Amino acid sequence: MRRSDMTRELTELREMDLATLVEELRATKQEALNLRFRNATGQLDDTAAITKARRQIARISMLIREREIVAAEAAGK
């Protein structure tokens, strides 16, 4: 994935609200599971899709955690 595509994708994720991010995380985890099963059964041609899904999960998790930290700091002040 090109850097400009990643930046655009991260910007789109940052614009989502927390509930949407959590749903996106759930869907991406399910997609990663399906990709792993397809890979194990030899039906997956694009094995890089597994890595892409894992990285997407990491991006979404990072954004959710950032929002949790900001909320905790705001509550503590």
Q: What is the pLDDT of residue 3?
A: 74
Question: Would you tell me how many other CB atoms lie within 10 Å of the CB of residue 40?
Answer: 9
**pLDDT band with cut points at 50, 70 and 90 for residue 7:** confident
pLDDT in tens, 25-41: 999 999 999 999 999 99
Among the listed residues 49, 57, 68, the one whose alpha carbon sits nearest the alpha carbon of residue 13: 57
* Whole-angstrom distance, CA of residue 50 vs CA of residue 67: 26
- Tell me the H-state helices in 1-77: 3-15, 18-40, 48-76
Confidence of residue 13 (pLDDT cuts 50, 70, 90): very high
Domain extent listing, the chain: 20-76
Q: What is the pTM of this model?
A: 0.87
φ and ψ at residue 51, rounded to 5 degrees: -65, -40
Q: What is the mean pLDDT of residues 44-64?
A: 97
CATH of the domain spanning 20-76 = 1.10.287
CB count in 10 Å sphere of residue 29: 16
